[in-house]
Amino acid sequence: MAGPGKNHSSDNKQTLYICEKPSQGRDIAAFLGAHQRYNGYMQGNNTQVSWCIGHLLELAPPDAYDPRYKRWLLKDLPVVPQHWKLAPKKSTAKQLKVLKTLLKQCRNVVIATDADREGETIAREVLEYLHYKGPIQRLWLSALDKVSIQRAFNNMKPDQDTQPLYRSGLARSRADWLIGMNLTRAFTLQANDRQVHSVGRVQTPTLALVVKRDREISQFKPESYYDIEAFFQAADGILKAQWLFDPKGKKHCFEKVMAKTVLQRCQQQNGIVTTARTQGKKQSPPLLYNLSALQQEASRRWAYGAQEVLNIAQALYETHKLTSYPRSDCEYLPLSQFKDVSSVLQAMCKTDPSLCSLISQADQSRKSRVWNDKKITAHHGIIPTQASTQINRLNHKELNIYDLIRRRYLAQFFPDFEYDQSVIIVTIGRDLFKATGNITRIEGWKLLINDKADKDQILPAVSKGESLYCKQLELKEKQTKPPRHFTEGTLIRAMETIGSQITDKVMKKILRDTAGLGTQATRANIIQTLLQRKFIYKDKKLIKATTLGFDLIDSVPEAIKDPALTAQWEQQLDDLANNKIPDIQPFLQQQIDLLKSIIRQLKQEKSPVQNSPGTAKAGYPPGSACPECGQPLEIRKAIKGKRIGQDYIGCSGFPECRFFSWKL
């Protein structure tokens, strides 16, 4: 086929749509009636549709700034570009040339890449590299079925609305280059073992989570503890109850003698029912899936990998057009989409007639809590679209993921799950025995989503004050259990919820509970990278660190492997994307300050960096009294400024007391 410009006049300029990949380009071109095919683009109706193939450009390597950086030398680090350079990827250079020609002859550009930070960056870095100065609009696609595409065209976004996403993307890529390139060179040179010791801004703290968990498991020493099961004779059956070792909150009894004493004094005694409470409870339908929740559920049910789930969800979105944009971080829907309910349910029924009987029971007028405009981020939750296909076109795994998504959506139109929760406590002297159970009253949405793990224990009817005979007591010796190894699903969860796990007062004050490592779109790739680089491996569905992974975490400074500090950076990237921070330079300066601090320390030391907690040389050892308020001092880590990443001594009374002293 002819190249750009050979089948149309350059004075009849056209609108150019830039998509993220060819398949997306074909969908947009078909919708626009641009059916003429050329090398790297399609044309028709005064419109041209072309595409990137992921990132067409990449940040230039260090030797593009100075040839001496081809050699890895500690004395040359850190490399900090003053003016950042992009370089075309060799594998996709031909497509970049196509876009260059099309941009010269177009009237205006519509960015139609994926509606997220990465999609924005993919398109805008090309426009900037090729010095495009014309008008720009943004096509914000939530799904690729015809109805969703039409809706996106009706609500085209102006250029300035999505520019903050590009700034966030630039900040992320440059920070990753600064940290990854410099520290990979630094720790590879330090190790001097002919292996590349890859360090990443998000990759390394994620690895640290796995290493920490593995060490907690290997160092765990099980302890025996003792439970007592009691069996009481009630009028209409046997009541099975558990001994409450300490009603004030202690979890286990570790003294066998104490448990045996309880056994002896309660055996074949009468107990009095001191609590017999039944309370009606309701559960609303679960929220819609975002990508992380979908990955976690698929990992739990079928041990699917995080990247595998993303690939399947992407196929349901791109190839089958059955679901909405998969890389969403949202679990809600805008009220404007309530009018689509009937069409979506009809499409689901047409795709899979076996679901029609359930769909017929849905109350389409019911508005669950997912319909909430205030909760909508850049995207809404993952839902079925108004498109239909033949269900047998989906493979087994695609059907599993599609089924999760469609049932969550359908559940919104079913009643709450209602049940009676019963609590019975029987008292023998000073010893208490407790039984709990649930009785389903209205199945509601659980008709669609009923986990096999849900088990109702039906209790016999008893009344407060009733006397029950204790027929039998059984002493059971058990052992405390270590934490579980991560699966891909639970690791995604740990990455996502770092903000809520932080106990450090200073960091807690800074981090929002939603702060995490990576984003919905990148977490699967981070885990995949760790697997590919042999830092972790899969033992069936369990994720474990390799010796290489342990060694790396032991060699890098705390600041680089600290999940909380990295989560703080991700929070700043999120604020950049939402235009809460207008400039990327302060964020990048934090990375530069940290780099300089770490590499300065490496140059001063001959042995691997170890930032073990120890006694401060400034005269204020941790645990000693604060000279200003008397509360204990503790070791902290600087999270901003020129000493970012360094330890200091701070008052445990923060933020009321702000005394600190730098460790020397």
pLDDT, tens digit (0-9, with 9 covering 90-100), for 391-437: 999 999 999 999 999 999 999 999 999 999 999 999 999 999 999 99
Average pLDDT over residues 221-248: 90
Q: Cβ(245)–Cβ(395) under 8 Å? A: no
Give the per-residue pLDDT at 89: 95
User: Comparing C-alpha atoms, which of 470, 430, 436, 464 is closest to residue 245?
Assistant: 430
Of the pLDDT bands very low, low, confident and very high (cuts 50, 70, 90), residue 650 is confident
Containing 204, the helix (H) or strand (E) segment is: helix 203-218
For 257, the 3-state DSSP assignment is: helix
- The DSSP code for 288 is P
Give the per-residue pLDDT at 407: 97
Structure-block tokens of residue 15: 């609108």
Handedness of CA 587, 588, 589, 592 (dihedral sign): positive
Distance CA 402, CA 320 (A): 11
Average pLDDT over residues 95-106: 96
Q: What phi and psi, each to the nearest 5 degrees, are found at residue 649? A: -100, 125
Q: What share of the chain is helix, strand, coil (3-state, %, to 5)?
A: 40, 20, 40
**Which residue in this structure is represented by tokens 């405009």?**
373
CATH fold of 14-155: Rossmann fold (3.40.50)
Containing 157, the helix (H) or strand (E) segment is: strand 157-158
Structure-block tokens of residue 244: 């409450």
Of the pLDDT bands very low, low, confident and very high (cuts 50, 70, 90), residue 247 is low
Give the per-residue pLDDT at 453: 53
Distance CA 68, CA 348 (A): 61
CATH 3.30.230.10 fits 301-411, yes or no: no
- The DSSP code for 392 is G
Strands 14-19 and 106-112: what pairing? parallel
Q: pLDDT for 47-95, tens place per residue?
A: 999 999 999 999 999 999 999 999 999 999 999 999 999 999 999 999 9
Q: pLDDT for 564-620, tens place per residue?
A: 888 888 899 999 999 999 999 999 999 999 999 999 988 887 444 343 333 334 467
Give the per-residue pLDDT at 8: 42
**Which residue in this structure is represented by tokens 């503790």?**
634
Residue 34 has pLDDT above 60, yes or no: yes
Average pLDDT over residues 187-191: 88
Determine the distance from the C-alpha atom of residue 129 to the mean position of all C-alpha atoms in its chain, rounded to a whole number. Answer: 31
Give the per-residue pLDDT at 455: 61
Distance CA 15, CA 136 (A): 10
Give the per-residue pLDDT at 7: 42
Helix axes 291-302, 396-411, angle to 10 degrees: 120
For 48, the 3-state DSSP assignment is: strand
Q: Cβ(225)–Cβ(480) under 8 Å? A: yes
Q: Which residue has the higher pLDDT, 587 or 559?
A: 587
Does the pTM exceed 0.85?
no
Give the per-residue pLDDT at 639: 61
Average pLDDT over residues 378-392: 93
Give the per-residue pLDDT at 613: 37
Cβ burial of 330 (10 Å; 0-12, 13-18, 19+) is buried
Residue 306 has pLDDT above 80, yes or no: yes
User: Comparing C-alpha atoms, which of 507, 613, 560 is closest to residue 208?
Assistant: 560
- Residue 508: CB atoms within 10 A of its CB come to 15
Half-sphere exposure of 602 (CA within 13 A, CB side): 26
Indicate left, alpha or beta for 393 from its phi (over 0: left) and psi (-120 to 50: alpha): alpha
Q: Cβ(473)–Cβ(241) under 8 Å? A: no
Sheet of 542-545, strand order: 486-487, 542-545, 536-539
Residue 5 has pLDDT above 50, yes or no: no
- The DSSP code for 569 is H
Q: What is the CA radius of gyration of the chain?
A: 30
Q: pLDDT for 615-645, tens place per residue?
A: 334 467 787 777 777 678 888 777 666 566 6
Distance CA 340, CA 139 (A): 20
Q: Which residue has the higher pLDDT, 463 or 617?
A: 463
What is the chain's mean pLDDT, rounded? 89
Instruction: Identify each DSSP E strand in 429-560 by its residue range.
Output: 431-442, 467-479, 486-487, 536-539, 542-545
Write down the domain spans for the chain: 14-155, 165-220+486-604, 224-284+417-479, 301-411, 612-664
Query: Quick one: three-class SS letters along 86-128?
Result: EEECHHHHHHHHHHHHHHHHEEEEEEECCCCHHHHHHHHHHHH
Average pLDDT over residues 127-145: 94
Distance CA 13, CA 106 (A): 5
Residue 4 has pLDDT above 50, yes or no: no
- In order of 163, 284, 337, 493, 520, the CA distances from 579 in angstroms are 9, 34, 26, 27, 19
Give the per-residue pLDDT at 602: 87
Distance CA 279, CA 396 (A): 42
Give the per-residue pLDDT at 653: 74
Of the pLDDT bands very low, low, confident and very high (cuts 50, 70, 90), residue 456 is low
Helix axes 306-318, 396-411, angle to 10 degrees: 80
Cβ burial of 83 (10 Å; 0-12, 13-18, 19+) is exposed
Structure-block tokens of residue 108: 């205006």
CATH 2.70.20.10 fits 224-284+417-479, yes or no: yes
Give the per-residue pLDDT at 145: 87
Residue 261 has pLDDT above 70, yes or no: yes
Average pLDDT over residues 549-569: 90
Q: Which residues are catalytic?
A: 325
Give me the architecture of the 165-220+486-604 domain, per CATH.
Orthogonal Bundle (1.10)
Distance CA 57, CA 201 (A): 21
Give the per-residue pLDDT at 479: 95
